[in-house]
Amino acid sequence: MNKNQFQIAYGVVLIAVGIGVFLKIPYVMPKVTAIDYFANATLVIEFSFYLLGGLVILAGVKKIFKILNSIGDV
């Protein structure tokens, strides 16, 4: 596997992890809100999780497009 293939695979993994974060948030938030310390900051925590997932997805997309542009396929 050469460097470009590895970088594309890494970008795909980043996108998959970001999607996984989006899918996991509804299951994790009830556990987070059960903790008294975090009960008042539910919206901030949920926004942070969604922001994290979105940034990871964007990082994966950016990595893939950067490699494809350097190859000349896009």
Which pLDDT value is given to residue 73? 55
Question: What is the pTM (predicted TM-score) of this model?
Answer: 0.85
Distance of CA 71 to the CA centre of its chain: 25
Give the mean model confidence (pLDDT) for residues 19-32.
93
User: Locate tokens 């964007």: which residue?
Assistant: 58
- CA-CA distance, 43 to 49, in Å (whole number)? 10
31-56 confidence digits (pLDDT tens)? 988 998 988 899 999 999 999 999 99
- CA-CA distance, 74 to 72, in Å (whole number)? 6
Distance of CA 64 to the CA centre of its chain: 14
Domain ranges of the chain: 3-71
- CA-CA distance, 14 to 9, in Å (whole number)? 9
